[in-house]
Structure 1
Amino acid sequence: MAHPFVTSSHLLHRSFAQKPEMVIYASGVSLFLESGREVLDASAGPAVSCLGFGRPEIVQVVTNQINQLAYLYSGARFTCDVTEDLASMLLQGQPGGLSKATFVNSGSEATDAAIKLATQYWFERGMPQKCHVIARKQSYHGNTTGALCVSGHDSRRTMYRPWLSQNVSFVDSCFSYRLKGKSPMKPTSNDWRTSYRKRSFVLGPKRSLLL
């Protein structure tokens, strides 16, 4: 049965069964609730917001940038100093051979962009059939439909299977700390490599897009 607060609220909450806690403000690593409780945000939100709340130096930088240039659409052939400088800083020394960066709003969009970029690359090279992704079991890559297609959590995928691409294969996870081989002392890294190689062999080099 739905909680009365959730029933009357115009916001679609994640759970209908319980009333969410009302947060009044946040500071540092703490959330302060309407009830008077202080909650330590030890997981940094969904494990991605690691800068903390209300840091004056960040507030000042964000305020200055909003006053100077709050938004710029790159599709209109524009650029600006802050994005150019950030890309240069991230790619200093070309780590892993990388030389170009693009910026999106979330990891979900980054996953979608990576799939689309790889697909476009092989399409323009005259190999449109090279569109199959090899992903890992138990992986999580985001909330969009594209990210869900390459995420290996069965419980998250079940409801949406009719929407999910068939151009995805899943191989064993490479997580030696939790997932051991037959011997308690044997990590699964070799097992994972074998699983990946077998799947790549079945698909063939002309179909496998990215991992």
Structure 2
Amino acid sequence: MVYRQLETRQWQDLDEAHYLHPFTDHKALRSSHSRVAVRGEGVYVWDTEGDRIIDGLSGLGCVTIGYGRKELVEAATAQMTDLSFCQSFFNTSHPAAIRLAEKLVQITPEGLNHVFFQCSGSEANETAVRAIRRYWKLKGQPDKRMIIAREKAYHGSTQVAASLSGLPDMHEAGGDLPLDFITHVGTPYAYRNKPEGMSDEDFGELAASWLEDKILELGPENVAAFYAEPAQSAGGSICPPMTYWPAIQKICRKYDVLLAVDEVVMGFGRTGKWFGSFYYGIQPDFMQLGKGLTSGYLPLSACLMSDRVADVLIEDGGEWAHGYTYSGHPSCCAVALANIEVLQSEGIVERAEAELVPHFEAKLAEFVDHPLVGNVRSVGLMAGIELVANKATGEAFPFEQRVGNQCSVEALKLGLAFRDNGDTMALMPPLVMTIAEMDEMFAIARQAIDATAKKLGIM
């Protein structure tokens, strides 16, 4: 292939000259240089230097069934051969989108019978917000416009999705954000937010009560929806107590607030169940899917809507002036169908729950006593290992020290993609990982944390 005709440094020079990366300090990149990936197989990725890296992140939480699955390549090839593109405007449809919509309705929580397709999670969340606003207008309640999301949430990078996200850096980068109809409440982050001596069960209910407080502050007649991930990934692997979501749903029903659940990361097996909503017992009005929908092989997302919402949009709304050129792209839909077939036929989600999750949890428990580790938390195959300056008090490192980034760099040297969300180190491995591969991943993670602790003088 052409990329093998260039040396690594040549690729890096071209990269720095022309390619703007997401969430990147490009000035710093010109000193550190990018790693140029060229091949993937199973849970491994190789770069131009021939180094093999365990993908402990599943790409960005998306490569659920691993790299190099020929079934998905063949599905894309066949669809491109038959129908390379089909727009979904002007009363036009095609079999791949129709079949995928039907399949998603079958495997997601009951009542989500309508599907809108986009390319990214950001766009899926944009779709949901526009549908929420339109729904209440059609219901004759245009003042019901406020959407409540959570601190440390991540919902994407459009103006709306960045506003939903509870990450101040994103608001600053996007200008005057969040938008005026979006506000935030505290998150069920027990390590930092739980009062001393309180049980996890009681904390789950306390964290849910923050939503009710905000609804009453704004006025229930003004609140359109509550927006949240089942568990929070980019915000620091925040896993709510099991009492949290039942309490949240009661509050939403009490005040007639729609519930939008962003499953872009948690969907397709990450929690050990097909969807985070099944794990936590959530019945949403909206569910956003992406990432694992195609296992990252092609860009596709979906916004599922309940009958309650869709019936109003369909019967009373006339034309809904919303959509994207690539909504329901045939090849992306065909790959998603093939991906779901692989997940189902090989029992990948069920095996992950029965075999991988217990081993994952046992290996994580070995980090609890590490002198650099303040907290370890997980749900399914998503974990956060939080690094702290003082284990006894939980004191965090100064932001400028970027300890998590130091640990990530150490891990990459050793052959592991180990993401730093601030100073919380995240692991989200592919669901097809073997026990031996998982042991290798954790061994490198331990070495990286040890190396970081030694540099800091903690070991």
What range describes the TM-score normalised by the shorter chain of this pair? Answer: 0.7 to 0.9
Residue 209 (structure 1) aligned with residue 224 (structure 2): yes
**Sequence identity percentage:** 26
**Shift in Å, 1:175:** 4.2
Q: Which moved more, 1:56-65 or 1:91-100?
A: 91-100
Find the residue that maps to 2:33 and give its secondary structure.
Answer: coil
Can you give the 5+ residue segments of structure 2 that lack an aligned partner in the other structure? 1-11, 227-459
1:144-170 Cα shifts (integer Å, max 9, x gaps): 111011111123223335143121221
Aligned residue number for residue 151 of structure 1: 165
**Shift in Å, 1:98:** 1.5
Find the residue that maps to 1:102 and give its secondary structure.
Answer: strand
1:37-88 Cα shifts (integer Å, max 9, x gaps): 1111121111123232221111111110111122221122111222111111
Closer, same or farther in 2 for the Cα pair 1:94/1:140, shift >3 Å? closer
Distance in 1 (CA, whole Å) between partners of 2:147 and 2:123 is 17
TM-score, normalized by length of structure 1? 0.88
Can you give the 5+ residue segments of structure 1 that lack an aligned partner in the other structure? none
Residue 164 (structure 1) aligned with residue 178 (structure 2): yes
Distance in 1 (CA, whole Å) between partners of 2:172 and 2:74 is 45
Residue 38 (structure 1) aligned with residue 46 (structure 2): no
Aligned residue number for residue 5 of structure 1: 13
- Higher helix fraction (1 or 2): 2
Summarize the alignment of residues 17-36 of structure 1 with structure 2, pairs less than 5 Å apart.
17=28, 18-36=32-50
Distance in 1 (CA, whole Å) between partners of 2:44 and 2:14 is 25
Summarize the alignment of residues 12-161 of structure 1 with structure 2, pairs less than 5 Å apart.
12-13=20-21, 14=24, 15-17=26-28, 18-92=32-106, 95-161=109-175
**Shift in Å, 1:26:** 2.0
Distance in 1 (CA, whole Å) between partners of 2:211 and 2:63 is 32
Distance in 2 (CA, whole Å) between partners of 1:7 and 1:80 is 38
Distance in 2 (CA, whole Å) between partners of 1:164 and 1:152 is 9
Find the residue that maps to 1:74 and give its secondary structure.
Answer: coil
TM-score, normalized by length of structure 2? 0.42
Distance in 2 (CA, whole Å) between partners of 1:100 and 1:167 is 26
Closer, same or farther in 2 for the Cα pair 1:23/1:94, shift >3 Å? closer
Distance in 2 (CA, whole Å) between partners of 1:44 and 1:20 is 19
| Contact 1:108-1:147 within 8 A present in 2 as well | yes
Write the letter of the residue equivalent to 1:5: D
Q: Which moved more, 1:4-13 or 1:27-36?
A: 4-13
Distance in 2 (CA, whole Å) between partners of 1:62 and 1:27 is 18
Q: Which moved more, 1:138-147 or 1:158-167?
A: 158-167
